[in-house]
Amino acid sequence: MRNRIKNRMTGAMLGIALLGSVCSVSFAGIGGSLTISPTSISFADANPTTNPSITANSTVLIGIAVAGASSTQAWSVHGMANGDLNSATSSIPISNVSWTGVQSSGNCPSGHTCICDNGTMSKTTPVNLINGVANTQTGPGFQCTATFSMVNSWSYDSASYTQSFVITFTSP
C-alpha cells in the first residue's frame, strides 16, 4: 500500500512538472499582434509617358505589438507576394511594386531600435517591412506607414490585375 501511494504521488509530481513545463513555454515565447489598414490598395490607370510611376490610392498602416521577447531577441515583419499581378490573360511582374516605410507612431524600448524598411515586392523571397529587437511599446505597439508605388509601362496590356501580398510576423 505504501508503495502504491508512493507511486501515485511520484506520478502526480511528474504530471505537475510536465504541466509546469508547458506553462513556462507559453510564457517564454515571443508573440506579435499584427494589424494592417486598409487591407486593399489600388493603382489607377495612368499615362506611362507622363507618369512613369504610380502611387497607390492609399498608404497602408502596418502595426506590430510584440510581447514576450527578451531584450536581445530580434523579430521582423516581412511580406511576400503570392505571384505577379495577374489578369485573366496577362501579368505585370510583382517586382514592379515597391514601397517606402516611415515610422508613424509607437516606439521600442530605450536602447533598441525598430525600423520601417523600404522594399520591393518579390514572389520568391520574403522582404522586410519592419524589424526590431525586444518588446514594442504596449498598446498599439510600433506602427509604420507604407507608401506603395508601381512602375508604369506601355508594355502592360489593358486589363484589371490583382494579387495578394502576405505580411507575416516572425522571430527566429
In this chain, which of 85, 114, 130, 144 binds another protein, going by CB under 8 A? 85
Instruction: 154-159: list long-range contacts, CB under 8 Å, 24+ apart.
Output: 154/48, 154/49, 156/48, 156/90, 156/92, 157/87, 157/89, 157/90, 159/87, 159/88, 159/89, 159/90
Are 123 and 165 in contact by the 8 Å Cβ rule? The answer is no
Interaction between residue 154 and another protein (CB under 8 A): yes
Considering the complex, what minimum distance in angstroms separates the CB of residue 38 from another protein?
8
Q: Which C-beta is closer to another protein: that of 33 or that of 111?
A: 33
Binding string to another protein for residues 12 to 41, with x set by CB under 8 A, is what? x--xx--xx-xx--xx-x-xxxxxx--xxx
Q: Which C-beta is closer to another protein: that of 17 or that of 111?
A: 17
Of 83, 56, 68, nearest in space to 24 by CA: 68
Cα distance between residue 136 and residue 34, in whole Å: 12
Rounded alpha-carbon distances, angstroms, from residue 5 to 8, 9, 19, 70: 5, 6, 21, 42
Q: Which C-beta is closer to another protein: that of 70 or that of 111?
A: 70
- Binding residues for another protein restricted to 101-120, rule: CB under 8 A: none
Interaction between residue 142 and another protein (CB under 8 A): no
Q: Which C-beta is closer to another protein: that of 111 or that of 125?
A: 125
Residue 64: which H helix or E strand, with range?
A: strand 60-67
Sites of contact with another protein (CB under 8 A): 4-5, 8-9, 11-12, 15-16, 19-20, 22-23, 26-27, 29, 31-36, 39-45, 47-49, 56, 60, 65, 67-68, 79, 81, 85, 89-90, 92, 97, 148, 150, 154-170
